Chain A
C-alpha cells in the first residue's frame, strides 16, 4: 500500500498570498496517477488536479500541480476567500487507492 503524507497539517495564510502544499509518497507514484482534491465542510471532495498537473474542468488557473517520484506539490498562486478548505492528495495508480491525511488551509 502506498502511504501519502501531506504537509503541513495546517497552513495559515491571508487572501492574496501563495500557498504551497506538499504530498510525499512512501514509494514512487506514476505522475499519471496523482490527484488533488478540495473539500469544504458538508460537501464532497472536488477534483482540482489529475495526472499531477492537469487541471480538472472549470478549475481556475491559480491552481497548479507539479512533482514526480515521491514528491508532489499543489500550488495556489493567489489565494481567494473561497480557497480556504481542506486539500487531499490521492494516488490512483496502485491498489488500494490511497489518500493523504489532508492539509487544512485556514485564513490567517
Chain B
C-alpha cells in the first residue's frame, strides 16, 4: 500500500530556509488523479494547509504564507518537497505530507530556534 515519509532537519535557525522531503513508496507519485500536499500543526493547535503539487508539476499555495513557500515534485525519485523561506519561531510545528487527504505521513517536528 502507498506510504509517505517526511524527512529533513528538525532544527532550523531563524531567517533560514526550512527544507523537507516526502518520499512516496508503494505507488507512483505521477499516476492517478491525486495531489500531494504539505500541512502543518503547531503544538496543541489546529491544521494549516500550506500548499500542494500535482504529478504534472502544477502547484497551488496558501496565500497566508505569501511568497515564502515553494513545493516541487520529482517523479524520478517519487518524492515531493517543501521549502519555506525566512522562517521564524511561528513556523515551529509538526509538518505532514499527504496524498490528497486519504494518506498521510507520520509527520516531522521542526523547531525554529537559534
Q: Contact residues of A with B, CB < 8 Å? A: 1, 35, 37, 43-47, 50, 56-57, 88, 90, 92, 95-102
Contact = CB atoms under 8 A, between A and B. Distances in A.
Interface string B16-31: 0000000000000000
Given A96-B62, A97-B37, A47 B102 contact: yes
Interface of A is mostly: loop
B96 A44 contact: yes
Nearest to B4: A44
9 shortest A-B CB distances, which residue pairs?
A: A44-B104, A96-B62, A97-B49, A99-B47, A101-B46, A47-B102, A95-B60, A102-B46, A47-B101
Contacts of B62: 96-97
Contacts of B101: 35, 37, 47, 50, 90, 92
Contact of A99 (B49, B104, B106): B49
B59 to A, nearest CB: 11
B64 interface: yes
Nearest to A35: B101
